[in-house]
Amino acid sequence: MQAARFTYSKVYNLAAKEEFISTVKSGKILAHKCTKCGYLHLATTYFCQNCGNKGFENALIEGKGTVATYTIITVPPAGYEKYAPYAWVVMKLDGANLRISGFMQNIKSPADLPLGTKAKIAGYDERGILIEKL
């Protein structure tokens, strides 16, 4: 994918969300890098959190990292009953000060997932962003 420069008028039509999901499906994370200060955000952010600038350029990040924290859900919200127990994970992305959270199947006890376990983005479906162990 070509790195393109975002302007406010282009992201205003919410194209960023669709593009973000399509990159997640390919195992990558679409980030917005501030053109002024370089601060990285997930592409669902429209103004720089650090300096307020509205100019971003795309940065495509490899969807790999380590498990920063997680829970194993045994009392799920509606729609997730058939998946329980499952984990919901916050993953720290390698090489960037960014974290992303998502759904992880086949985790039954904390022994299955020590903090720091290497993991990767595995797709997106009705369960949300999918993360799995590397």
Partner 1 sequence: MERVCVIGAGSTKYGKLQDSITDIAVQASVDAIESAGIEPKEIQAGYISNVFGIADKQVHLGPVIMSNLGIPEVPSLSIESACGSGSVSFREAYANVAAGFYDAVLATGVEKVTHTGTEWTTTYFSYCSDFFYEGGAGASFPGLFASIARAYLAEFKATEEDLALVAVKNHDNGLLNPKAHLRKKITVDDVMKSAVVASPLKLYDCCPFSDGASAVIICNEKFAKAHTKNYIQVIGSGRGGSPAALQGREHLTTIPSTKIAAQAAYKMAGLTPKDIDFAEVHDCFTIAELVDTEDLGFFEKGKAVDAVRQGMTKLNGAIPINPSGGLKSKGHPIGATGIGQIAEVFDQLTGKAGERTVKDAKIGLTHNFGATGASCAVHIFKSV
**Is the CB of 60 or the CB of 68 nearer to partner 1?**
68
CA distances (Å), 94 to each of 42, 51, 72, 98, in order?
14, 24, 23, 8
Q: Which stretch binds partner 1 (CB under 8 A): 8-16, 31-39, 54-62, 126-134?
A: 126-134
Task: Kindly tell me which residue out of 16, 102, 119, 121 binds partner 1, with binding defined by CB under 8 A.
Answer: 102
Is residue 70 within the footprint of partner 1 (CB under 8 A)?
A: yes
Task: Compute and round to an integer the Cα radius of gyration of the chain.
Answer: 16
**Is the CB of 6 or the CB of 91 nearer to partner 1?**
91
Task: Kindly tell me which residue out of 48, 86, 121, 122 binds partner 1, with binding defined by CB under 8 A.
Answer: 86
CB-based contact 101:89 (threshold 8 Å): yes
**21 CB-side CA count, 13 A:** 9
CB-based contact 64:28 (threshold 8 Å): no
Residues that bind partner 1 (CB under 8 A): 17, 42, 44, 68-80, 83, 86, 88, 90, 97, 99-103, 109-110, 115, 127-129
